[in-house]
């Protein structure tokens, strides 16, 4: 059984983001980059399933410039067996990403596709759902527990009313949430081994996918600074401020 895991190169989660002076996007110059945290959880889950003997191969795939191979090496240091790098732009729209991943799914024929529920840069939360629709596969999003068998995967997901449990026939698409697992630390011997593992490089043209633009970024701006809070002496004063200043109650 193959498991395909999609990973994305993003700004490190602990780095302060800066907006470009012309408000066209985020300034990436000299910033530390890393694997998207939700993608790291997806890789960890795939490796754990392989360690349990439920999968025979874990394949990591990413889309982006040559620098994105750093994140594929990270995935292989965590336990992925091999990687596929789709050479394309670093700022692709979710639909283009889903189409490229669909081409890889058709080529590799995995039983399970794991993705992070969203990336921390664009926060779109769309690729997993689009990929499942394009591949006509069952899907489960925001997975907090995954139980895999030979022909199905049972996924627990947190919802507003508690917990929802879904049983999906394989092949299927699952997106991972924070509570699914805690990724392991990459050990130096595994990092060294990852340097020797193969990375297959392909282009969108080789996959038969045409990249089209459907969205236009109008502007990117910093959020307004948070105002200092005030201390109220009575409940009546609090209600007055909520009604007349914040205007959040009638």
Name the domain count of the chain: 1
Mean pLDDT over 50-67 rounds to 95
Q: Establish if 61 belongs to a structural domain.
A: yes
Asked, for residue 90, whether it belongs to a domain, the answer is yes
On whether the CB atoms of residues 204 and 88 are closer than 8 A, the answer is yes
What's the pTM value of the predicted model, to 2 decimals?
0.86
Q: How far apart are CA 164 and CA 182, in angstroms?
A: 21
Q: What contacts 132, CB < 8 A, 6 or more positions away?
A: 138, 139, 172, 173
- State the residue range of the domain holding 100: 2-223
249 falls within a domain:
no
Is 235 among the domain residues? no
* Residue 25 domain flag: yes
Round to whole Å and give the CA distance between 36 and 19: 19
Q: What is the pLDDT of residues 182-228, one digit of tens each?
A: 999 989 999 999 998 889 999 999 999 999 888 888 888 888 888 88
Cα separation, 13 vs 33, whole angstroms: 9
Instruction: Give the β-pairing of 139-148 and 152-159.
Output: antiparallel
Q: Is the pLDDT of residue 90 over 80?
A: no
Sign of CA pseudo-dihedral 84, 88, 89, 93: negative
234 within domain boundaries:
no
243 in a structural domain: no
Tell me the per-residue pLDDT of 203-216, one tens digit each, with 9 for 90 and over.
999 999 999 888 88
| CB-CB contact of 63 with 119 (8 Å) | no
**The domain spanning residue 21 has which CATH number?**
3.40.50.620
Asked if 45 and 146 count as a contact pair (C-beta separation under 8 A), the reply is yes
The answer to the question of residue 229 being in a domain is: no
Q: Does residue 176 have a cis peptide bond before it, meaning omega lies within 30 degrees of 0? A: no
């Amino acid at each position: 059984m193959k498991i395909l895991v999609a990973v994305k190169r993003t700004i490190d989660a602990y780095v302060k983001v800066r907006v470009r002076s012309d408000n066209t996007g985020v300034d990436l110059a000299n910033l530390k980059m890393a694997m998207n945290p939700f993608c790291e959880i997806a890789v960890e889950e795939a490796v754990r399933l392989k360690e349990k003997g439920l999968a025979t191969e874990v394949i990591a795939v990413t889309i982006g410039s040559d620098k994105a191979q750093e994140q594929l090496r990270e995935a292989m240091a965590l336990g992925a067996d091999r990687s596929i790098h789709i050479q394309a732009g670093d700022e692709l729209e979710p639909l283009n990403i889903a189409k490229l991943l669909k081409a890889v799914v058709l080529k590799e024929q995995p039983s399970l596709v794991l993705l992070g529920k969203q990336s921390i840069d664009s926060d779109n939360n769309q690729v997993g759902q689009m990929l499942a629709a394009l591949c006509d596969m069952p899907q489960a999003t925001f997975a907090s527990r995954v139980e895999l068998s030979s022909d199905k995967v049972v996924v627990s997901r947190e919802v507003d009313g508690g917990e929802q449990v879904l049983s999906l026939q394989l092949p299927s698409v699952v997106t991972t949430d924070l509570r699914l697992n805690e990724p392991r630390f990459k050990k130096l011997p595994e990092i060294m081994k990852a340097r020797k593992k193969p990375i297959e490089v392909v282009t969108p043209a080789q996959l038969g996918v045409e990249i089209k633009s459907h969205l236009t970024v109008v502007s990117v701006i910093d959020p307004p600074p948070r105002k200092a809070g005030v201390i109220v002496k009575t409940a009546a004063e609090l209600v007055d401020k909520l009604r007349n200043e914040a205007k959040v109650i009638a």
